[in-house]
Amino acid sequence: MSDLFKNFGFTSGGIKNVSPHEALQLCMNGAVLLDVRHEELVAFKHFGVENYILLPSFDIDKHLDELIPDLYYVVADSVGIHSKEVCKLLLEKGFRHVANLAGGMVEWERDGLPVDVDVKERLSGSCTCQLKKREKG
What are the residue ranges spanned by the domains of the chain?
Answer: 10-133
For residue 83, how many other CB atoms are within 10 A of its CB? 29
Could you name the CATH architecture of 10-133? 3-Layer(aba) Sandwich (3.40)
- Per-residue pLDDT of 16-65, as tens digits, reads 999 999 999 999 999 999 999 998 778 778 899 999 999 999 989 999 99
- Per-residue pLDDT of 73-129, as tens digits, reads 999 999 999 999 999 999 999 999 999 999 999 999 999 999 998 777 666 655 544
Which has the closest alpha carbon to 75: 97, 48, 45?
A: 97
pTM to 2 decimals? 0.86
For residue 53, how many other CB atoms are within 10 A of its CB? 15
pLDDT in the model for residue 123: 61
Residue 45 has what DSSP assignment? Answer: E
Task: Specify whether the CB–CB gap between 33 and 52 falls below 8 A.
Answer: yes
